[in-house]
Amino acid sequence: MVRMKRLVATLVISCLVLAAPARAQSILRDAETESLFADMARPIVLAAGLDPRHAKVVLIQDDSINAFTAGGETVYVHSGLMAAADNANQVQGVIAHEFGHVADGHVALGDAGGKPAMGISILSMVLGIAAMAAGAGEAGAGILAAGQQAAMGNYLSYSRTIEATADASGAMYLNRAGISGKGMLDFFKKLQSEEYAYGLKNIDPYAQSHPLSGTRIATLSHDLQSAPSWNTPPDPALNARFQRVKAKLVGYVEETKITLNAYPEKDQSIPAHYARAYAWHKGGYPEKAAAETAALIKASPHDPYFLEIEGQILLESGKPKEALVPLREATQATNFQPLIATTFGHALIATEDKANYPEAEKVLRQAVARDDENPFAWYQLGTVYDLKGDVARAALATAERASMTGDPGLALRSAQTAMGGIPPNTPDWIRAQDILLVSQDQISNKKKRR
């Protein structure tokens, strides 16, 4: 089920990376998954002394077993890690490690490891080139090679140190939060088994950016096993939610045949129905997808996430009017959760019934007000304004979306259009002006860099 083609390169948990790689990968947004991550992380975040309103866990579509932080208080978890984990407690162990990086400020201190290594590298280049210029070619090449090796060794040593520190901090947060550390050790044991399976048993520990899994297990075992929370039983409700999210993720990202192999039709559990509903829908089998969602609704008629997938499948199957009832109930049951509300707003627009446009506008305005990372909601809101003939606010919605997706040129032009049609000094006009000024600065800075 888990694709292992990139395992060797990314088996170690958590690298400190710049923000750009996080943007380069595909972020998967799902209301149920984000709710689960928030509940799994909250006690850990509090134990780390962080603010749950700002700290969050984000899912990345990447089949490698990895997680990382890129600055701020956000932890990124790969879909491959979710697929490899057996239970919620294992993922909590990884999350605790990552928030160890966050709370200890490792991203901000990243240069501490890079600068000494860079100094060694530059010095070796100067000495090596000087030796070559003096006619000692082999000696110069030797100096260069030795210098690069020393620089890399210096950086790797620093990286192993901060990873070990994050391990210790993560273990402390788990113990402080009353969460068993069994999941953390179990996941490291899982990684250790994969290391052996891929012939990494005799790997040089000093050539790695992380301590080897066996070392991490030995180092953490005493602190975790001696904690009062070690024998705390896992939360069955939390783990049931994890199994649901894991199943729907597999159904969404994997090929249909892979999903059906992991969740065969003889499996009548809730996670299996969930996985197959997404797999059949994605594979172009609407009747089979509908049968799986019907089984979910029968099991729990008012579960908002079951209603969400029922409505989503109906909408994407060209039945927006039929999608309104489940999506409206899902939206109301989750107190207008922005992602679900956006899908509901989309369905209202897709009916092409003018009577539904006011409700669509109301729903989508709430969605964009509560979620500042949802460009699709702005697109849908702009569509409503356009259908209603409100060109200026349609332009403002486009400006918001373009600003969010990194298109300052479009944001600037749309903001100018919006300001031309919205009464001056009103909230919408001021917002358009803000986008205009920010976009001008971005364009100017880009020109300067060129």
Nearest to 327 by CA among 342, 307, 357: 307
pLDDT at res. 230: 96
**Does some domain include residue 353?**
yes
Domain boundary among 236, 265, 293: 236
Is the same domain home to 179 and 294? no
Separation between Cα atoms, residue 63 and residue 4, nearest integer Å: 8
Per-residue confidence at 214, pLDDT binned at 50, 70, 90?
A: confident
Residue 94 reports pLDDT greater than 60:
yes
**Does some domain include residue 123?**
no
Is the same domain home to 198 and 285? no
**Does some domain include residue 439?**
yes
Is the same domain home to 420 and 291? yes
Q: Parallel, antiparallel, or unpaired: how do β-strands 26-28 and 74-78 relate?
A: unpaired
Any idea what the CATH number is for the domain that residue 349 is in? 1.25.40.10
Separation between Cα atoms, residue 289 and residue 252, nearest integer Å: 12
Is the same domain home to 375 and 445? yes
* Residue 268 CA from chain centroid, whole number: 29
**Does some domain include residue 131?**
no
In tens, the pLDDT along 181-191 reads 999 999 988 88
Domain boundary among 203, 236, 269: 236
Is the same domain home to 224 and 262? no
Beta bridge partners of 15: 68
Per-residue confidence at 149, pLDDT binned at 50, 70, 90?
A: low
**Does some domain include residue 308?**
yes
**Does some domain include residue 127?**
no
CB atoms within 10 A of CB 389: 7
Give the DSSP H/E element, type plus range, for residue 158: helix 137-177
Is the same domain home to 334 and 401? yes
Domain span at residue 18 reads 7-110+143-236
Is the same domain home to 263 and 296? yes
Q: What is the SS3 assignment for 338?
A: helix
Is the same domain home to 225 and 259? no
**Does some domain include residue 1?**
no
Is the same domain home to 258 and 363? yes
In tens, the pLDDT along 234-278 reads 899 999 999 999 999 999 999 999 999 999 999 999 999 999 999
Q: CB burial class (10 A; 0-12, 13-18, 19+) of residue 346?
A: buried
Is the same domain home to 292 and 205? no
pLDDT at res. 440: 95
Per-residue confidence at 138, pLDDT binned at 50, 70, 90?
A: low
**Does some domain include residue 122?**
no
Total domain count, the chain = 2
